[in-house]
Amino acid sequence: MPRIRKVRRLSTRDKIVLTAMVAIPTLIELVFVWLPTLFSIGLSFTRWNGLDLTDIHPAGLANYQYVAQNYPPFWPAVQHNILWLLFLGIIATPLGLLLAVLLDQQIRGSRIYQSIFFAPVMLSLALVGAIWQLFYQRDHGLLNFLLGTAGTPAAVDWFGDSNVNIWAALVAATWRHAGYVMLLYLAGLKGVDPALKEAAAIDGANAYQTFFRVVFPAMRPINIVIVVITIIESLRAFDIVYVINRGTNGLELISALVIQNLVGEGQVIGVGSALATILLVISLVPIIFYLTRTFGKEAKEQ
Partner 1 sequence: MSVIAAPSIKEAPKATGIGGSRPRRHYATHLILIVLAAMWLLPLGWSVYTALRPIASTNQYGYFSLAGPYNFDNFIAAWNQGGFSKYFLNSALITVPSVLLTLFFSSLMAFAVSRVNWKFNITLLILFTAGNLLPPQVLAAPLFQMFKHLNLPYWFSDSGTLLNTYISVIAVDTAFQIGFCTFVLSNYMKALSSDLTEAALVDGAGIWRQYWSIIMPLCRPAFAALGTLEVIFIYNDFFWPLLFIQSGDRLPVTTAINNLQGVFLSNYNLLAAGATITVIPTLVIYLVLQRQFVAGLTLGASKG
Rule CB under 8 A: which of 80-119 touch partner 1? 99, 101-108, 113, 115-119
Site map (CB under 8 A) of partner 1, residues 36-65, x = contact: xx-xx--x------x--x------------
φ, ψ of residue 62 to 5 degrees: the values are -55, -40
- Residue of the chain from 84, 132, 158, 159 that contacts partner 1 (CB under 8 A): 132
Parallel, antiparallel or unpaired: strands 57-58 and 46-47: antiparallel
Residue 168, interface with partner 1 (CB under 8 A)? no
Count CB atoms within 10 A of the CB of residue 192. 17
Min dist. Cβ of residue 25 to partner 1 (A):
4
Residue 285, interface with partner 1 (CB under 8 A)? no
Residue 202, interface with partner 1 (CB under 8 A)? no
Judged by CB under 8 A, the stretch of 64-72, 137-145, 152-160, 162-170 that binds partner 1 is: 137-145
Strand ranges, E, within the chain: 46-47, 57-58
- Residue of the chain from 63, 157, 235, 249 that contacts partner 1 (CB under 8 A): 235
Judged by CB under 8 A, the stretch of 65-73, 84-92, 153-161, 274-282 that binds partner 1 is: 274-282
The 8-class DSSP code of residue 51 comes to S
Identify whether the C-beta of residue 158 lies closer than 8 Å to the C-beta of residue 240: no
Instruction: Give the whole-angstrom CA distance, residue 99 versus residue 117.
Output: 8
Q: Between 58 and 194, whose beta carbon lies closer to partner 1?
A: 194
Judged by CB under 8 A, the stretch of 25-33, 61-69, 70-78, 159-167 that binds partner 1 is: 25-33
Query: Which residue type occupies 43?
Result: L
Identify whether the C-beta of residue 59 lies closer than 8 Å to the C-beta of residue 270: yes
Helix (H) or strand (E) holding 158: none
Identify whether the C-beta of residue 128 lies closer than 8 Å to the C-beta of residue 216: no
Min dist. Cβ of residue 252 to partner 1 (A):
13
Q: Nearest CA to 44 among 278, 280, 274?
A: 274
Judged by CB under 8 A, the stretch of 62-70, 86-94, 159-167, 184-192 that binds partner 1 is: 184-192
Residues 209-228 that bind partner 1 (CB under 8 A): 210-211, 215, 220-225, 228
Length of the chain measured in residues: 302
Residue 276, interface with partner 1 (CB under 8 A)? yes
Residue 120, interface with partner 1 (CB under 8 A)? yes
Identify whether the C-beta of residue 26 lies closer than 8 Å to the C-beta of residue 262: no
Residues 244-263 that bind partner 1 (CB under 8 A): 254-255, 258-259, 262-263
Q: Between 75 and 295, whose beta carbon lies closer to partner 1?
A: 295
The 8-class DSSP code of residue 122 comes to G
Instruction: Give the whole-angstrom CA distance, residue 219 versus residue 271.
Output: 42
